[in-house]
Structure 1
Amino acid sequence: MERILARRQFMRVLTATGLSAAFAGSLLDRALAAHGGPSDADILQLALTAEYLAVDAYTKSLFGGFQGLVKDYLEAALTQEEAHVKALRDTLSALGVKPVEKPSFVYPVEFLPRNQLAILRLLNALEDAFVGAYLGALPLIQSKDVLKAAGAILGNEAAHRATVRASRILLGDQELPGPRSPADRAFEVAITPEEAQKAVSGFIRK
């Protein structure tokens, strides 16, 4: 029963990184077989996949013709996501593990000036998934150093989500869920597999 519950909990993290449910299940089976449960290295590899997606999405968002504060935010977020990638790759290398390579990504929106609100909604959905994925991973991490690093990245992703919400408000997005405030909740929550799949499934090119 403990093994089944651990599998269900970790699947939240797997699907939140943008992996399909089928591929996530296969990867998790190999991890469980090798370690008896997901190791810190497994979690770091999955976090790295998510950060690759973040870097790719923010890089493409710069083609959206944003100006002023929104452009400044996107550029700053990209720099921070790149720092996450470097930190995760360095940590894996220090553990003697080869970092997973960046996959190719596909998106349901064209990164063009006419789609600015759609781009921001996409980034919002991704940040929701990243925050939930890191939060869901925290109880599974064994190393205190890795736990601190994951918590630090979680806080930064939550700040990104708040800022992209502020950008949607600045651009007059009437489809913004919740209060018209960058901080839309009092407590962060781990995402469910269904919510993770809705937010990020299908972004990895098969």
Structure 2
Amino acid sequence: MAKSLRRKLRQLDRTRLLSAEERTRFILDERTERLASRPGDRTEPVADVTRVLICGAGHEHYGIPLDRIAEILPFRPPMPVPGGPAALMGVLGRGGHLVSVIDLGAALGQGPSDTDGANRHLVLLRREQPRVALCVDRAHEVADVTRLASETTGDFRKDAVMGYAKAASGFADQERVLSLLDVDRLLHPFLSSSPAPGV
């Protein structure tokens, strides 16, 4: 292609049919045509979108992967378990099974929530044994969020946080960036030393 263009320019130069300005326009037109006909070798990066339940715990917002959630329930006080970890609020019965209730804020090192039960929710996780519900200050909405790229993978504030994401719209008039939770890592400290049956 470049050889044929040079040949054409030599022929034009010999005959002096075109001025310098016309030759420049001719070259630019040829280049534009070549670029337009070239197959696209650049592809737009595909956004890493995850569907989550956005919840509040303390002053933070978290995304729990939707495929890990069985049900969202209104808060009801669980029966305390003596000698259990600080984040374990207690157990409650649901459908003939014991469900351990873990305070999400306390499990993430924020301390127990001081929000009254009226606005709180229980997020029942999709798992058989033991059954676990996370107590959150508020379950805001189910949304598709876009993962934010991270320079290093170990740079998260908490072990249970597997990344950060941005919601398409603001939730509860707050910032749109939230922490994505790894449910297995969150529950690991509680499952490795169960103080009570069903926990």
Specify if TM > 0.5. no
Bigger share in helix: 1
Larger Rg: 2
Structure with the largest fraction of strand: 2
